[in-house]
Structure 1
Amino acid sequence: MRSRVVQFLAVLITALALVPAGAHLFALPNKINLPRDAYLSVQGIYTGWAWLGLFDVVALILNVILAIKLRRQRPAVYFAWTAALCLVAFFAIFFAWTFPANQATANWTTMPDDWSGLRREWEYSHAVNAAVMFVAFCSVTLAAITARRD
């Protein structure tokens, strides 16, 4: 696959992965202090969002491919690897904090006794991941605009 196609797809898919991450971040101030029943109700809006995780996986793959394709182009290769490493960090954060909260609450369909602690972990891990994904998006964009034509 030509480098320009990979660049375009890496930027596009990383941007699409940023959308749900940003949505979580901007919803946080309105949700973080909701009472138990209201929070459980609001969490229902995320039903089916797991499929959006495909953008995250594909973004990681495309950013690694882009970094490999740009391996002889500096500084573009550094930006591409930064984007890929941000996506690795994104998944590490997700599996360390977000996913366990999803598991403990059956994807927010039940509320265990420690639900408020799980809410904090879930909300703040999404907030951090929004920032990480934003850095990934900026990095892959810089990789694309600093890369030479092939």
Structure 2
Amino acid sequence: MGVSVARSFETEVAKAFRFLVSEYGLSGPVTGPGRVEYFALGVTYEVVLDPVARAVTTHVGKELGAVRFDADLPALVVGAALGMPEHVRRGAHSLTELRATVLSQAAYVRRLQPYLTPLNVLPLMRAAYAQETPLTVEAS
């Protein structure tokens, strides 16, 4: 993977996903090595760069009641009937491909927003075969 891809990853994600902050009030971006995260009460978006596979993946987490659901973007796109998993770009072999991939994934995240309402999120996450993790309450 070219150095420019790894160096540019955070900047490209911040540009493409800034609507999560400006339009939906999420916090972020919070960055780490090969990772950019946005979050709000009960929802997280994590965009990850895999330098070995030369790929970008977006993970969506949503809390609903006492359960946290986690799913990958391609599965959510299928679950919401927005397209096939192969329609979600993943490649990051070059800076040009990284930009196109991040912009494509951000566009799908924007299209998924209406499905993440309390009424729609459970059927969507189940259709996407999301991982379900019970939330534990710590005793005081």
TM-based fold match above 0.5: no
TM-score normalised according to structure 1 size:
0.29
**TM-score, L = length of structure 2:** 0.31
Q: Could you say which structure has the greater relative contact order, defined with CA pairs below 8 angstroms and 6 or more residues apart?
A: 1
Tell me which structure has the larger Cα radius of gyration.
1
Quick check: which one's helix share is greater? Answer: 1
